[in-house]
Chain A
Amino acid sequence: MTTKATINRLATRVPGLDEVLGGGLPEFSFNLIAGPPGCGKTTLAHQIMFALATPERPAIYFIVLGEPPLKMLRYQQQFDFFDSEAINDSVRFVCLSDEAMSGDLDRVLVRIVEEVTARNPRLVFVDSFRSVVIANESGGSPRTSLQLFVQQLGMLMTSWQATTFLVGEYFNETDANPVFTVADGLIWLRQSVQRNSMVRKLEIVKMRGQATLPGLHTFRIDNAGIRVFAPPHVVATGSAAPEAAVHARRALMGVPALDDMLGGGLPRGYSLLVAGPSGSGKSILAAAFLAEGARCGETGVVAAFEQHPNRVRNPVLIDLIARGQVGLIDSREPDLSIDEITLLILTEVRRLKASRVVLDSLSGFELALAPTFKTDFRESLLGLVTALAHAGVSVLMTSELEDRYTDLRFSPYGAAFLTDAIIVQRYIEIDSRLLRVMAVVKVRASHHSNELRLYTIDDAGICMGAMLPEQEGLLGGRPTRKHVPGLPALSGGADGA
């Protein structure tokens, strides 16, 4: 029989936060929510409170100074989580501004003790505990008082078995180390501003007794409240992998000749990069990939980052979306993070039990990201691809490739090494015509063709053509005719196979 204390974890129900916390908040913990003004501290505190408070587990929210209570109630009720009916029932607001204004910390503590004794709350919030001290700063040494105040409060709340949150404004972490020592948990909220984009980030600096996810996690505040975007690998766990029967077969591309070139289609769970210059038919191939899936009874998800918002122009795709066989992610939110996009995609994959995902295109995707993420684009993309692979879906990504005839390039991001398979499309000039060729460059752990084949695009989609054995130097863009006697001259037209 074990005699160890059991630490229960409270699910905050703030999307993503429990994952980042490593499974929820430890019961009876003493936590600080800190950060600069306007970063969402009070919102986070309210959201946690309304999620956790029940008549059996009541909460008290002490409003010290700072925001006038009326204003706080006015703004917080805009969020979906705010529940007027809970107020004065499972949730109780207590204004301590009169005590705080006196500048006497003991009076504030006495009031808190009184209320806690009278109500026996299981959750206690103090917003903002920092202003208590600022009010006190005129007399005596503020740091000692603050530490004493927080220590006494911590002792008191632990003995009352209350999970406690102190909300406070801090501009940097070195600001008040002594206070941070006392706390069991420290949730730090930040706003990163770069050019005219603003990205909110959250960090669990400390959480005693459990393994949290390290680093900065982006979050967004909208009408529903705060949504934290946990890293892709965490989000992906628990994804339902497509059924084994589906797994056994390769994913066909919707272009039979291309399937042959791939060695029988794209192996399941692979990521495929389709790289080519503007207008080479990458999106059309992507649509064919989804349409073929739909034909076989599979569902798919397309994340579109095209230059024309709200408008997917491919008729095949429009039809698939309308019939619900393909889910569209067309996020026009500003300042996207890769974690957010990953979450959107995986949520949609789970909803539709999708087995195919299209990202069209990486270039548009990069443009849609907030500037602060662009430096880590490759790392984040790797996270996204890994998460999707973990979820068991086959991924097709398109990448705009500037036509360069001096070197053979597949992607401007070095994304090539991230993917399991690569198809490259190029323009070539033959007989005063601009023709297209396509080749399968790589299919990891699989046999594949090494042919460089002509292809055309018409109303029916992509049509693979022949090789050009009598030409050489195709990848240089300006092939020359080999002198092979007996071969007929190339007509130059698009000679569908």
Chain B
Amino acid sequence: MPLKSAEGLRWPASLADRVTDGADAGQVADAVVAIWLEIDQVLHPIIGQRGVAALYNRSLHLAAVTYPWLAIDKPGFPVQVDPSALRSALAQRTAAEAAVGGNALFHAFHELLASLVGASLTDRLLRSVWTHSSPGSTAQDTSL
């Protein structure tokens, strides 16, 4: 299980696992969105759809400080995670930019969640996402 304790190593690794060398921006965007859907899948049973959506939007907001092109969070109360805007924003960049931006967003999210519920619980909750299994499988199905 690639459980590295150094912050920031997990998400690039997770993304790198899914994107082959020479992928274009569209493929990177798909991989990022797929991870977000998994995160949503894992977390929304526990903290609610609105809870995940609120964290997602806040992460976009935080990541947009460094990467202004990520400032795509919609105004108003977020009801659920909607990564379609993220997908199109990523697809418009180069593949390298998309990968860096996508990682920055994951990093912001991870930091935010860890600041709220602690690093160990964050790791526990998101373990199934970064120990990448086949796309579409959810954390819920693996543990019981």
Q: Which residues of A contact B (CB under 8 A)?
A: 58, 63, 68-71, 73-74, 77, 84-85, 87-89, 92-95, 97-98, 119
Contact = CB atoms under 8 A, between A and B. Distances in A.
A77 B121 contact: yes
16 contacts: A68-B47, A69-B47, A69-B48, A73-B46, A73-B47, A73-B117, A74-B117, A85-B124, A87-B125, A88-B125, A88-B143, A95-B51, A97-B51, A98-B48, A98-B49, A98-B50
Nearest to B142: A88
Interface in B39-94: 44-51, 55
B144 interface: yes
Contacts of A89: 143
B124 A84 contact: yes
A100 B51 CA distance: 14
A68 B51 contact: yes
B112 to A, nearest CB: 10
Question: Which of B44, B46, B120 is packed against the most chain A CB atoms within 10 Å?
Answer: B46
Contacts of A63: 46, 48
B118 interface: yes
Contacts of A68: 47-48, 51
Nearest to A68: B51
Nearest to A73: B117
Given A58-B144, A70-B116, A119-B144, A97 B50 contact: yes
Contacts of B139: 88
Contacts of A88: 124-125, 128, 139-140, 143
B48 A95 contact: yes
Contacts of A85: 124
A69 B113 CA distance: 12
Nearest to B128: A88
Contacts of B50: 97-98
A95 B140 CA distance: 14
B121 A84 contact: yes
A77 B139 CA distance: 21
A71 B55 CA distance: 13
A95 B47 contact: yes
